Each structure stands twice: as structure tokens, then as C-alpha cells.
Amino acid sequence: MQERSIGTLTVSVVGIGCNNFGGRLDEAGTKAVVDTALDEGITLFDTAGIYGGQRSEEYLGRALGPRRDEVVVATKFGMPTGEVSGGAAPDYVRRACEESLRRLGTDRIDLYQLHAPDDRVPIADTLGALEELRAAGKLVEIGCSNFSVAQLDEAATAAGDRARFCSVQNQYSLLWRAPEDDGVLEDCERLGLGFLPYYPLANGLLTGKVVRGAAPPAGTRLAAMPEERSAHWLSDELLGRVEAIRDVADARGVSMLSLAFSWLLAHEVVASVIAGATSPEQVRANAAAPRALDRATLDELDAAAKA
């Protein structure tokens, strides 16, 4: 498994998204996925306080057990949970960190990420609280998610000589190109941030399992998605692009999944491709997916994805 850097952290180029833990996966299923990931050389596990009804962190921590120091644990704070409104106010940041440490059963969080911007709180105040937690040894690096170029620049300016974001996690895939269009990828290069794409398989469209004219397979993300959201992903336009990408994959004798991962990793600013998994088989397929793509293949994929 190849590795790349996020700040001072070294991570595998394939990571495990832990949003299924505590939801679609019970504790035994979580352990099976985590054990397989470790066996495959995957070292980045990305969760959040809100995932799995707040069970994801607990299941991940127990599944890692004595192997916790072999991996990079990334989690997030800021989303509302029950009666807690979330956000990025300093008092909330401190409390959320302590709760995540407790659920994970660890003494530190390797990458602590603000899940979404909070316009109610000056980013300097949030960074100040995160600096305190880092100075106390409770955090190693900090990152953010769903940030725009303006918000990334504001955070970089506000950081000064204190803790600063070393990564941003935004949606990005062959079929969702917003980070290119809105300048976030370019800003990451300028600021030295690692980029972590979420939904790298476009909600399952790039697994090869979804075909025009057939309902999404039972148990998949698209099958469980409300119709008002799935309508976008199952539109004729996107399914036509999926077929064009499938043709590129078939012509090269590789899977669509492999092309989806490899295309993302062809961007040097992408630190790791984080994908959820609900079975050891999916973990092994994800771990085996990355491969070097030549310029002709990259150009064909771009053309297919924008057809």
C-alpha cells in the first residue's frame, strides 16, 4: 500500500470511511472490516462524532484495540447530535473532543476535523481552542471539511503561528468536479493542504453495480437514499456518463472502481481516497484499486465523465 502525507501524518492512499459503523454494520461487522483493512495495509480510518448514532467511534476504538498505534484515527466535530447544536464555539470544541476521546478509547486524535463551517463563530476562536487541545497532547493535526476557498484562506490567515488546518475533506469524484471548478484543489496546492475526497465513488455509481433501467441493488447507498436525492444521481445524464466510463474500463480490462480511485490519486494533492465498506470483500477491492494511469487514460476518463 502506497502512502502520502497529511501534515506530519503518514497515511495509506486508501482509507476507510467509518460512516457505516454503528449503522449498516453492527460491532461484529465493524471488526471484520477493520481487521481486513489492517491486514491490507490500510492505516487511515475516518469517522465522526455523529456517525452511526454516535456508535461509530466506539466500534472503531474497540475494533482497533491494541493495534490503535498502527493507524491514523481521523474524526470530526461540529454536526448537531440530539439536543446538542454542534458548531465550532470553543467550549463546544473542547467538550466534543473529550467525548470523542472517550468513545474512541484513546488518549489522542490524530486528525481532528471541523465537519462544516460555522459562520456564527470567528474561525480564529475555533483555531485557538484546537491549539489548546493540541498543546495538551490530545490532538496531533487538525483539518476541516466542506470549506470553500474563501474559508480556507480566512482560516490560514487567522492561524498565524498557532495550529492550522493541514487538510480539507470535500466531495470529489469523476462525476462531482466542484473542487476543480471552485478552486479548492488549487488552493490546497498553494496552502500545502492535503485533500481528502469523500463520496469518491459518487454514491456508488462508480462501483459498476448501477445500470440504466434497473433499480440500485438492495443494501447500497443509492437504494437507501431518499428519492429527492437519488433522482440527481440516477438521472439519464449521469447514467450516460457512467456508461462512457464503463467503456473506458472495459477497454482496459480494469474495474470502474479501480479507475475511480486511480483518477483521484493522479492528483498529487489528494492524500488518501476514503471509501466506506460493509464487508471484507469490499475492503480488499478498495485496497487493490489504485494503479498508475497514463495520460491517454486520464484524458479519456475526463472526456467520458463530462460527456
Asked whether residue 123 carries a pLDDT value surpassing 90, the answer given is yes
Q: Is residue 198 assigned to a domain?
A: yes
CA distance 49 to 112: 11
Strand stretches in the chain, DSSP E: 3-6, 9-12, 14-17, 44-46, 72-77, 109-114, 139-145, 165-171, 194-198, 273-276
The arithmetic mean of pLDDT across residues 186-193, rounded, is 97
Q: How far apart are CA 178 and CA 254, in angstroms?
A: 26
CA distance 243 to 241: 5
Q: Which residue(s) pair with 193 in the sheet?
A: none
Checking if the pLDDT of 47 tops 80, the result is yes
Residue 90 domain boundaries: 3-211+260-291
Whether residue 252 is contained in a domain is answered as no
Residue 304 lies in a domain: no
State residue 80's pLDDT score.
85
302 within a domain of the structure (yes/no)? no
The overall average pLDDT reported for the chain is 94
Does any domain span residue 222?
no
Range with top average pLDDT, 199-203, 226-230, 263-267: 263-267
Q: Among all residues, which ones are annotated catalytic?
A: 51
Identify whether 245 is part of a domain. Answer: no
Q: What does the alpha-carbon distance between residue 65 and residue 21 come to, in Å, rounded to a whole number?
A: 16
Q: What pLDDT shows up at residue 187? A: 98
Q: How many structural domains are present in the chain?
A: 1
Report d(CA 302, CA 307) in Å as an integer: 9
Task: Write the burial class of residue 78 (CB in 10 Å: 0-12 exposed, 13-18 middle, 19+ buried).
Answer: buried
The arithmetic mean of pLDDT across residues 169-197, rounded, is 97
**Can you give the CATH number for the domain in which 134 is found?**
3.20.20.100
Cβ atoms of 170 and 197 closer than 8 Å: yes
Q: Could you tell me if residue 248 is inside a domain?
A: no
